Amino acid sequence: MKRIIIICGPTGVGKTSFAIQVAQCFNGEIVGADSMQIYRYMNIGTAKPDAEEMNLIRHHMIDVIDPNEEFDAGRYVKLADEAIEDILSRGKVPIITGGTGLYIKALLNGLFRSESVCTKTLSRLTKELEERGAHALHEKLMECDPKAADKIHPHDSFRVIRALEVFQTTGNRISDHQERHNFHNLRYAGLKIGLYMEREELYDRINHRVETMLDKGLLNELVSLVERGYSLDLKPMQSIGYKHMAMFLRKEADLAEAVRLLKRDTRRYAKRQFTWFRKDKDIIWLNPSEMDASKKLIKEFLT
């Protein structure tokens, strides 16, 4: 089975610099696993590797699509597979790096594909979402598939609707399908290294990173995106950082309040990421300073 290294963890923990050191040591290339770094023109708010970092090590799965294009885990797996195959064909080590747990899980375990999507059911559920709201649909999912509902945030309307559509179309719970599927499928042999640090230190890093993003021109980046013709209502423009600067542009908050909310929401996002990854018992948790321990683990894994 093809071997890959996975470096994961919450935002702000230092995954990029850590992965670059690993890649330099083991003749590797980095495959991004970040649902926001795939978008072109969105550089500062997504904390993409800078030009110097990109020159040190080749990166894949960055700047893949425009902000108005659709993208999902299925497409991620397809493109990441191609990148991994390319890296391996040149005798190098693929290092999957990022904080989007769904992408990493899909890459390793594959995606559940149910029967063809019922557009009629999806349309009805979408209308119900508009009329009754996200919480009502999440409660509905809790009644028919509590396991799925526990794993899906009430505001993640796309996944809530998908789970309801599967149940209403097939009569089967999507959680049952996923459990069976994940048990039987392993697409790669992966060494998973999770990076962590004490919460106070991580939160301080996050607050500092937000200030750095502002100094680099996060607000101007959003203005530039709008000038390119990208609506503030697009999905990627609703992500952390961009939606907060949009609040300022729309005069919904002054800059100080927008920045306060940005820091708060980034900290909350980091907490959610850690909660997701903590469920994976295969992850070996290391502090970013423990590079020697990491190198030892990787060397043993690759030989």
Q: Is the pLDDT of residue 183 over 50?
A: no
Dihedral (C-alpha) 68, 73, 77, 83: value to the nearest 10 degrees? 40
- Report the Cα–Cα distance between both ends of the chain, in Å, rounded: 13
* Degrees to nearest 5, angle at CA 46 with 43 and 52: 55
Predicted local confidence at residue 112, as pLDDT: 64
> What mean pLDDT do residues 240-265 have?
98
Reported in sequence order, the residue ranges of the chain that DSSP labels E, i.e. its strands, are: 3-8, 28-32, 59-60, 93-98, 189-195, 284-286
Q: What's the maximum distance between 2 C-alpha atoms anywhere in the chain?
A: 57
Q: Which tens digits make up the pLDDT trace of 108-142?
A: 988 766 545 566 787 788 888 878 888 899 999 99
CA distance 15 to 100: 12
> What mean pLDDT do residues 218-238 have?
96
Mean pLDDT taken over the chain: 93
Predicted local confidence at residue 113, as pLDDT: 61
- pTM for the model stands at 0.82
Which residue ranges form the domains of the chain, and what is each CATH number? 3-110+185-302 (3.40.50.300), 119-183 (1.10.20.140)
Predicted local confidence at residue 73, as pLDDT: 85
Predicted local confidence at residue 109, as pLDDT: 86
CA distance 15 to 92: 20
Predicted local confidence at residue 279, as pLDDT: 87
> What mean pLDDT do residues 200-211 have?
98
Q: Is the pLDDT of residue 67 over 50?
A: yes
